[in-house]
Amino acid sequence: MASESASPLSSSASEAWHTLHASSVAEKFDVSMGHGLQLDEASRRIVSYGTNEIREKPARPAWRMLLDQFADFMIVALIVAAIISGVLGDLKDTVAIVVIVVLNAVIGFVQELRAEKAMAALKQMAATNAVVLRAGERVTIPSSEVVPGDIVLLEAGNVVPADLRLNSAVQLKIDEAPLTGEAVTVEKHDEPLPDPALSLGDRKNMAYKGTTATYGRGSGVVVATGMATELGKIAALLDMDGKLKTPLQQRLARFGRRLALVVLAMCVIVFLVGLLQGEEPLLMLLTSVSLAVAAIPEALPAIVSISLALGARKMVSRHALIRNLPAVETLGSVTYICTDKTGTLTENRMQVEKIYADGSVLREWREFPRAKLWQMLFTGLALSNDASRSGEGQTSGDPTEVALYMVALEAGYDKAILEKTAERVFELPFDSDRKRMTTFHSMDGGLVAYTKGAPEAILPRCISAACDRGQSPVDSEELLAVADSMAEEGLRVIAMAYRNWDSLPKDTAAEAIESDLVFLGLIGMMDPPRTEARDSVSLCKSAGIVPVMITGDHAATARAIARQIGIASEKDAVVTGPQLASMDDETVRKKIREIRVYARVDPAQKIRIVEALQQQGEFVAMTGDGVNDAPALKRANIGVAMGKGGTDVAREASSLVLLDDNFATIVSAVREGRRIFDNILKFIKYTMTSNSAEIWVIFLAPFLGLPVPLLPIHILWINLLTDGLPGLALAAEPEEKGIMQRPPRPPQESIFANGMWQHIVWIGLVIAGVTLFSQAWAIYMASSHWQTMVFTVLTLAQMAQAMAIRSERESLFTQGLFSNVPLLGAVLLTFLLQMATIYLPFMNAVFNTMPLTVGELLFCLVLSSIVFFVVEMEKWMIRKGWIFGPAT
């Protein structure tokens, strides 16, 4: 028997169970609806199919994760530099480099460990217990023991333990928001559905693992367990290797490889030229090796890590928690934000938006017209309601009922007060076939029956319509047209009617009671957009970021929300999941940049959208809060999850968590990401210009007939002193003006674009020029301090450059000297340390320096300050548009 039932399970991933009669499904699984599986058969099936659990990918060993942190080219280069420094006897530099390498590895290792929690969080979503029929009896078993063919019994509050084809549904409602993203609970039934291509949210006769029954009761045949369930498919998608390098990591990797080749060539040339000039081979070897160490910006990984860490700390104060440090920088390069709707752009609660009655539309009910019509309508909304309110003011119940309860309460109609004089004496609960419900209330010596439900189920049963004059003829077709118009606005429409009775009728059948009704009104509700969402979307667009909505909700709702907040215009169409499934990959690639709204999509399609954008060279952020969002969050360049309303799975799969569930927070995070990336680029510009200046000084001196200008200890000191503190201080630089009015940097763009490499070359030559001029002048003046002067000019010129490059375009005189106090302090400290090498006797011995005269020191200060004014002139020319520079 077990072998006979293997076929349904093996095809469960693709079988359209919702198109079959429940009896046919039971027959396929060889199970009796009223009896369930025999105990021995259940035991055989769990052996055949495995436990009903989400399987985790075997985690990489901790040692492997740690070892992988040292695989980066720049890290290898730093390790080589540390070894060389140690051989040269410079243990301080060796220790500094080792500390930097270890710090970088530890940060990456911790990030890897935290990422492994995503699968564990998904596994914990499974129900701990399930009630099933076994051998004709109700038994409670661990959900992991549920097998295909089991008959599962559901009641309100139960978490669905596996994917079920429902065979009974008595007023059963299931919250599928974590799986589909739809805010409204889904009313279930057991009838077959003809369309095999229906999305998950439209399969009303199915119940899926990990969702929750909120109302009613039902039962169903298990058609898939474990990894074969829809939740399991998501786990499989999460299991895919989706780790991507950030834009900066990609750029630095390319930069490191090229730098190594250039430095190697320069060192060979310096060594050979020195030998040709008669310098000692050992001195030239040490000089060449020192130059190689100096040319490698060993502080770069530390500066990048510290910049990201400081940025992450700052973001927490703005309600954004960074789970993966490189994500801070990635935010600055994001070109597309693919955002979920429910709970991200919307408030994740139903709210009444408009009420139609007697030809009028009401949008504000706190001061509504006090006509009898409106009083009856709000009284009915309050009384025919199953929502309840606790003593602490918390309202609970079905989201639709809560919305109707709240609109009546806001209008001044408190259900608790009204029920004291209008007690509910009878009711016909909501039924998915009838699509309506009715409650009877004792009132004014008689009974009033309030009926509410779908407009198409209420209006044909109305014989008149309430109005200010009492009652008027009802035009059902006109009212249905109004309801359709409201639905096109993305509203879920409920119709309300009533009927007076002298006493409770003897025939309490629905057909008898729910007839000859008097129409009261149409109530349109929706999950409203967040108040700040429109401004946030607008700011994203001004920053060159394209917002795209991807939701599992209905197309009309998605279109309405997208237009309200500015994601889509009137001419933008909505692409649904079935439409997307019908497109081949080539069509998707061609249209992907034109589509702004996707509706009724499944988790795999979300990944397809993200990947299609990435194939077009875009850097994609994906925001979301549900389990259905987790695979796309992981696959995107940066996943952004909701911290308050989101699931653990979404949070663990993401790089950034919004602690206030506010879409606007991501805009703040993007702003901070851009600032950090700008500052990292400033450090790269600063350190590479400084390093290139050192290389030019050593390289050009022999060709100018000058002796080797610096000793190895000088090169290492300059490199260590100038790269460290000023580099860290540049990380604290405030954001540039107009930072959110410029497009993102193209992800494939080199870090040396926008005039950076030209700056590095020509400012490096300027620094080298003033340094070599000081050497030539001192030698010409027969000064024995010439090497100390070269050493001092080169160090102070780099400090002048650090002050000047604080902004890409603005002058320091506009910014203000004290707008970055840490950098000012770093420059002053570097100046004092340099003076110590000149004027402290024990430092003279270490660095082979001599005290300079006042005139010589002033000469060095004047020469080094030239660099500051040259960089300021460069920025002035950029502002004038005379030379190419960074975009505004």
Could you list the active site residues?
Answer: 340
DSSP three-state, residue 416: helix
Helices (H), 386-436: 399-410, 415-418
Q: How many CB atoms lie within 10 A of CB 52?
A: 29
DSSP state of 743: P
- What is the rounded CA–CA span in Å between residue 888 and residue 885? 9
Residue pair 634/610 in contact (Cβ under 8 Å)? The answer is no
Contact 456, 480 (CB under 8 A): yes
CB-facing half-sphere around the CA of 749: CA atoms within 13 A:
18
CA dist 497 and 501 (Å) reads: 14
Determine contact, residues 374/356, Cβ cutoff 8 Å. Answer: no
Tell me whether strands 436-443 and 446-453 are parallel, antiparallel or unpaired: antiparallel
Best CA proximity match to 217, nearest among 162, 160, 179, 178: 160
CA–CA distance, 264 with 266 (Å, rounded to integer): 6
The CA-based angle 157-161-166, given to 5 degrees, is 85
Q: Say if residues 425 and 449 touch (Cβ distance below 8 Å).
A: no
Give the Å distances, CA to CA, from 768 to 70, 797, 867. Answer: 34, 9, 10
C-alpha torsion sign, points 644, 647, 652, 658: negative
CA 606/CA 612 separation, integer angstroms: 10
Strand positions, DSSP E, 50-150: 129-134, 137-142
Given a contact cutoff of 8 angstroms between Cβ atoms, the answer to whether 524 and 723 are in contact is: no
d(CA 692, CA 703): 17
The dihedral sign for the CA sequence 119, 125, 128, 129: negative
What residue type is 267 in one-letter code?
C
Which residue has 């059948």 as its token pair?
509
Nearest alpha carbon to residue 757 among 688, 700, 838, 811: 688
Output the CA torsion 46→50→54→56 (10° steps).
Answer: 150
| CA 515 centroid distance within chain | 51
Report the alpha-carbon distance of residue 504 to residue 524 in Å, rounded. 31
Backbone angles phi and psi of 297, in degrees to 5:
-75, 80
User: Can you read off the two tokens belonging to residue 224?
Assistant: 């898939």
Please enumerate in sequence order all residues whose Cβ is within 8 A of that of 70, keeping only pairs 6 or more positions apart, or say none.
Answer: 76, 79, 101, 105
DSSP string across 318-354: TTEEESSTHHHHHHTT--EEEE-STTTTB-SS-EEEE
CB burial of 539-567 (b: ≥16 within 10 Å; e: otherwise) equals bbeebebbbbbbbbbbbbbbbbbbbbbbb
The DSSP result for 203-231, as a single string, is -TTEE-TT-EEEEEEEEEEEEE-GGGSHH
The residue whose two tokens read 């077959």 is 192
Q: Is the backbone of residue 544 left (phi > 0), alpha (psi -120 to 50) or beta?
A: left
> Which residues, 6+ apart, have CB-to-CB distance to 584 below 8 Å?
none
Tokens representing 856 are: 């010589």
Q: What amino acid occupies position 693?
A: A
> CA 845, CA 848: separation in Å to the nearest integer?
5
What size, in residues, is the chain? Answer: 888
